[in-house]
Amino acid sequence: MQLRNIMLKSFIFIGFVLFISYYDVYSSIIINELQPAPLGDEPEWIELYNPELDTLILNDYTITDNASTKNLPNMIIAPLSYALLTKDTMLLQQVRNIPLGTTMYQATLPGLNNTFDMAVISDPDGITVDSMYYDVDWGEKGISFERIDFEKPANRGNIAPSKDITGATAGRENSVVPVEYDLGLYMLGQSKDTFHLQIKNYGKREAKQTNLKLLVEKKMASYSNTIEILKDLPNISAGDSLVYIVLLSEIENAIDDRGFLSISSIVNFEHDINPENDSLFWGAYSPFDENIVKINEFLYEPETNNAEFIEFINIGKDTIDIEGWIINDQFKQSGADEIIIEEPWFIPPSNLFVVAMDSSIFNHFPDLIDNPFIRISQVSFNLNNDSDDIILREPNGAVQDSLSYYSSWHSEWVQFSKNISLERISESDISTEQSNWVSCTDSKGSTPLAVNSSKLPKPKSIRVTADPNPFSRITSTQDGRTKITIEMPFEQGILKAFIFTADGILISKIADDIRIPSVIEIYWDGKNEDGYNLQIGPYVLVIEIADLASDQILTDKILVVIGE
């Protein structure tokens, strides 16, 4: 099929060349514009132009394409005026902004191909008056082809896609016709760090004393910041162009804001006749400093009435907009689960924000329902229970923070990790170290949008409580256990917990050199070291904790009673 199209194009083009070689193409009526591939309801149409100072009367003319010939209606075209030919003049008027008074004729046109073809106007004797060859690949569908110079043949070098913002200039001067002064501005290409702007002189004369103005705007929740960058341009000869490279670093040095930036670029030229192509609007992304947003807490194994979540904290000094930021888990053959922040989300400094995997988190934390700093993911995202990655990236791909966790990251005292989150200990230490994470000790198992349990104010000495106390192995609300809560003045410590009889005999080790956070809950079921139930009566719980940072050792003891 491709070979057939190439041969057909060649045949049509050869025919076109023969037409313009044999006949006088500098005729009194010219094909000035045509629309062979319209979009929507727009009908195909052809625009004729009378360049003469006399009225043209055209009777018994024909129009031919590669497949057929059609008779044209008898036409009268005023001097220096246009005439539009289409099968439905009313529909064309509805679709296009046709100037008032433009001559229009209802005509049966050949079926102009949506790929490539030619249109040939012939007089009653069959002599070619004018012709135009086109290939839709030279432009795009919905955009008309306009003649540049009506004194030259309408071949590849003398027709071009319309530059008009409406995609055509039916009944008006062609947008591609050179004027005395006309500078155009276009985006040639861009990367993360550079933007290539082309300034082209479409006019007939040299452009002097011009400049390029960039207006850079950053919109935030409470303010909008706009700065101006002005650059003088060298003289540009008629038909020439220059490429101006805008560096992202240049923009960043001018505006003290990061994130998505809106940029208006304008070529200023006092004598420019065509201002429609002088402006260009585009966007850039200026990345934030690395690690100003950190992963602060995450829950990967919730109960059925709860949801997975990831909590982050903005440790920077400014409010940031995280629109377009991306959260993903471990990459695998099928790809990675990915959450994109689709809308503006302004996070103040030192503020927490949470992305939860579904709304069941509100069953566990109903007070978060109207909190603006929690959002529910609209896509499937699942953190593995054994191990996974959490990666936070900016829209340009820059990684803000990341970690690879394992279930073994939970503290040694945690026997069952379901519904217990992992909390960050220090914002200054890196996220990838297991030693910077500890199991949550809050009674709910996690602390979304609240201070991590490991960072709550610490007592000046050890505090040990048991609840219930006394407790019963049969009727206790803790399934035959008592909950022992230990609070200490250290960030982390090594715990030893022993049970003695009232006369000082060691009968059980509840904990032996277990690494713990500042607050912890452990349980005792009233059994001895061998797993046998102890008799009803009082026992002594002895606690010893060594501070990991200083090796300081603190001790405490309380009486725990096994009841009936």
Residues 359 and 505 in one domain: no
The pLDDT, as a whole number, for residue 28 is: 80
| Position 22 pLDDT exceeds 60 | no
Query: Mean pLDDT, to the nearest integer, of 341-368?
Result: 94
Residues 238 and 281 in one domain: yes
| Position 24 pLDDT exceeds 90 | no
Q: How many domains does the chain have?
A: 4
Query: Mean pLDDT, to the nearest integer, of 530-559?
Result: 90
The pLDDT, as a whole number, for residue 27 is: 53
| Position 11 pLDDT exceeds 50 | no
Residues 271 and 309 in one domain: no
The pLDDT, as a whole number, for residue 475 is: 57
HSE-CB of 331 using CA atoms within 13 angstroms: 2
Residues 351 and 335 in one domain: yes
| Position 171 pLDDT exceeds 90 | yes
Q: How far is it, in rounded angstroms, from Cα 514 to Cα 272? A: 79
The pLDDT, as a whole number, for residue 378 is: 84
Residue 7 binned pLDDT confidence (cut-offs 50, 70, 90): very low
* CATH number, domain containing residue 227: 2.60.40.10
Q: Is residue 237 part of a domain?
A: yes
Residues 157 and 23 in one domain: yes
282 Cβ neighbours under 8 A, 6+ residues apart: 187, 190, 195, 263, 265
Query: Mean pLDDT, to the nearest integer, of 127-132?
Result: 93
Tokens standing for residue 305: 């009435």
Q: Is residue 358 part of a domain?
A: yes
* CATH number, domain containing residue 521: 2.60.40.4070
Q: How far is it, in rounded angstroms, from Cα 394 to Cα 99? A: 49
Residues 108 and 24 in one domain: yes
Query: Mean pLDDT, to the nearest integer, of 260-287?
Result: 91
The pLDDT, as a whole number, for residue 19 is: 44
Q: How far is it, in rounded angstroms, from Cα 295 to Cα 290? A: 13
Query: Mean pLDDT, to the nearest integer, of 270-281?
Result: 90
| Position 298 pLDDT exceeds 70 | yes
Residues 152 and 42 in one domain: yes
103 Cβ neighbours under 8 A, 6+ residues apart: 75, 76, 77, 78, 81, 82, 83, 84
The pLDDT, as a whole number, for residue 46 is: 96
Residues 84 and 24 in one domain: yes
Residues 259 and 300 in one domain: no
Q: To the nearest whole number, what is the mean pLDDT of the chain?
A: 88
- Structure confidence by residue, pLDDT tens digits, 174-207: 988 888 899 999 998 888 789 999 999 988 899 9
Residues 362 and 395 in one domain: yes
Q: Is residue 35 part of a domain?
A: yes
- Structure confidence by residue, pLDDT tens digits, 435-453: 899 898 887 899 999 999 8
User: Strands 81-86 and 103-106, how do they pair?
Assistant: parallel
Q: Is 268 helix (H, G, I), strand (E, B) or coil?
A: strand
Residue 112 binned pLDDT confidence (cut-offs 50, 70, 90): confident
Residues 202 and 138 in one domain: no
Query: Mean pLDDT, to the nearest integer, of 208-228?
Result: 87
| Position 461 pLDDT exceeds 70 | yes
Cα→Cα distances 271→31, 160, 182, 202, 562, Å: 30, 24, 8, 13, 98
The pLDDT, as a whole number, for residue 489 is: 85
Q: Is residue 169 part of a domain?
A: no
Q: What percent of the chain has pLDDT over 90?
A: 60
Choosing from 286, 308, 340, the residue where a domain stops is 286
| Position 549 pLDDT exceeds 80 | no
Q: Is residue 168 part of a domain?
A: no
Q: Is residue 270 part of a domain?
A: yes
Choosing from 455, 485, 518, the residue where a domain stops is 455
* CATH number, domain containing residue 112: 2.60.40.1260
The pLDDT, as a whole number, for residue 12 is: 44
Q: Is residue 477 part of a domain?
A: yes
Residue 392 binned pLDDT confidence (cut-offs 50, 70, 90): very high
Choosing from 391, 424, 455, the residue where a domain stops is 455
Q: How far is it, in rounded angstroms, from Cα 536 to Cα 539? A: 9
Domain carrying residue 304? 293-455
Q: Is residue 176 part of a domain?
A: no
DSSP 498-537: EEEETTS-EEEEEEEEEEEEEEEEEEE-SB-TTSPBPPSE
Residues 481 and 425 in one domain: no
